[in-house]
Structure 1
């Protein structure tokens, strides 16, 4: 079984593999029922934004998870991949600054990717 935290970590790794910039993980679940996590990243060019999105989709497909929704493939300035509990926003640098999701969701705590292992381990503990 793939946990949300494990999925989030794998998505971040897929973004890093394509040299995505300024990866931010927001714990949206603390402030909204929309989803558990937003992952926000940037690419320098439309080609890189597309490559990052492709990398994320490939990584998720490898573990049997397909996006419920995809938006922005036509413009490649902001691609949204909806995995239910995790939403991935990949921007070009200009649009990331313009839409500034981090400010819009400023009440959502940031999560360090390394913390996801700890959260994942805690969620697997069973009280005896």
Structure 2
């Protein structure tokens, strides 16, 4: 599978658990950190955890395992590192506060329909 196909799987896993306002940013041209950020919101900590767990499950079923994860103890902001892409699942208030979309405003948004 390609990176973009894995991103589509992750996006669907987020959507299945009702993630809010999910964005996929192509940061590869402006950062050496990773190729893509996936950013999504959730209304509470339980939903953040459910989304993160669903992503891990769906990607593992397709042979991709998380390299690192942070934030699972509080679930205000869970980060899942898959190397070529990093997923950020925020509780909505924390997403507003950290505003990653503003920090990475020069990164174009990936059009998943075009994949």
Q: TM-score range by the shorter chain?
A: over 0.9
**Cα offset, 1:108, TM superposition:** 0.6
Match of 2:33 in 1: 34
**Cα offset, 1:67, TM superposition:** 0.6
Aligned ranges 1:1-128 → 2 under 5 Å: 2-115=1-114, 117=115
Uncovered stretches (5+) of structure 1, i.e. residues with no partner: 118-128
Q: 2:47, 2:112 → 1: CA distance? A: 22
The residue matched to 2:28 in structure 1 has which SS? helix
Q: 2:111, 2:12 → 1: CA distance? A: 13
Count of equivalent residues: 115
Tell whether the 8 Å contact from 1:30 to 1:109 is kept in structure 2 after alignment: no
Tell whether the 8 Å contact from 1:77 to 1:91 is kept in structure 2 after alignment: yes
Match of 1:126 in 2: none
Runs of 4+ in 1 over 6 A off after TM superposition: none
**Cα offset, 1:64, TM superposition:** 1.2
Q: 1:53, 1:112 → 2: CA distance? A: 22
**Cα offset, 1:111, TM superposition:** 1.2
Larger radius of gyration: 1
**Cα offset, 1:15, TM superposition:** 0.2
Uncovered stretches (5+) of structure 2, i.e. residues with no partner: none
Q: 1:40, 1:82 → 2: CA distance? A: 12
TM-score by length of 2: 0.98
**Cα offset, 1:11, TM superposition:** 0.4
Q: 2:112, 2:97 → 1: CA distance? A: 25
